[in-house]
Amino acid sequence: MSRTGREGVGLSYQYLQVRNEGGVAVITLDRPPMNVLTIDMIEELVDALRWADSQPSALVLLEAKGKAFSAGVDVADHTADKVERMITVFDEIFYTMHRIDKPIVAAVNGAALGGGCELVLFCDLILASDKAKFGQPEISVGVFPPIACYLLPRLLPWPRAIELLLTGQVCTAAQVEQWGLVNRVFPADTFAQGVSDFLRQLLDQSPVVLALTKKAVRVGLGKGFADGLRDIDHIYLQELMQTRDAHEGLEAFMAKRRPVWQGK
């Protein structure tokens, strides 16, 4: 793995491309045609996510080149001599994503299966083309997907979640949109423009307020109302209201002008 360049410019990986573009830290999976995740590629992805977290960008975008977003983790890396290391480094993707305050957006223009689907589901927002497919087919090779076992019952009603895990069913973008698993589905031939337009809605907001809103949502998860609201109010009063952008937004609204965000 090569990691060179200054301030995120010119970083070089074997299986990924990264760039800053218009306030977005973009990570592109680049192991076509199926972007199968090897242990080496997973380690690069962890490093790239850490790079994205360090950037002054407002958002992180995960995308892919090739026929598939990702067909999942290489089956060869599930064998007895490699599986413990594979699980350890694969889990580190999600520990790293969990620590990132910026919204993470997945752009899925192809199949996201197995570990590729888990990577997508862990993002904050999911944009799909109408040719995208999603599924956890691990059951068919005699294993189960740990991240999906955690996530799917939290994202879907129990009957739907357990069905997907036990059958390995591969679903269309239209199906998962109906279930609420993805935010938008765009036609494949206008997918890039659809993603760009959606991201613009986020980039029009204050990056620091985006991050604090995500933080507030996460801090309330799994807590009772009183405890959750107390912790969210703390973020509002002690973090949000200490930013320049919160005051700028309120002042701009009252003055009937567009806010000028400073990102702090």
Taking a C-beta distance cutoff of 8 angstroms, is the pair 114, 134 a contact?
no
Domain map (residue ranges) of the chain = 16-203, 207-254
Taking a C-beta distance cutoff of 8 angstroms, is the pair 60, 19 a contact?
no
pTM of the model: 0.94
Tokens 């998962």 belong to residue = 176
CB atoms within 10 A of CB 101: 15
Q: For position 10, what pLDDT does the model report?
A: 58
118 is annotated as an active-site residue: yes
CATH of domain 16-203: 3.90.226.10
Q: For position 8, what pLDDT does the model report?
A: 46
Q: For position 11, what pLDDT does the model report?
A: 78
Q: Which of 100, 124, 119, 104 is nearest to 183 (CA)?
A: 124
CA dist 244 and 10 (Å) reads 32
Q: For position 222, what pLDDT does the model report?
A: 86
Q: What is the DSSP letter of 73?
A: B
Give average pLDDT by consecutive 10-residue segment, the chain, 264 residues. Answer: 49 94 97 97 98 96 97 94 96 98 97 98 98 97 97 97 98 97 98 98 97 96 95 98 97 97 94
7 is annotated as an active-site residue: no
Backbone Cα Rg of the chain: 19
Measured in degrees and rounded to the nearest 5, phi and psi for residue 122 equal: -80, -10
The H or E element that residue 62 is part of is strand 59-64
* Among 92, 118, 163, 251, the one annotated catalytic: 118
* Among 43, 63, 138, 177, the one annotated catalytic: 138
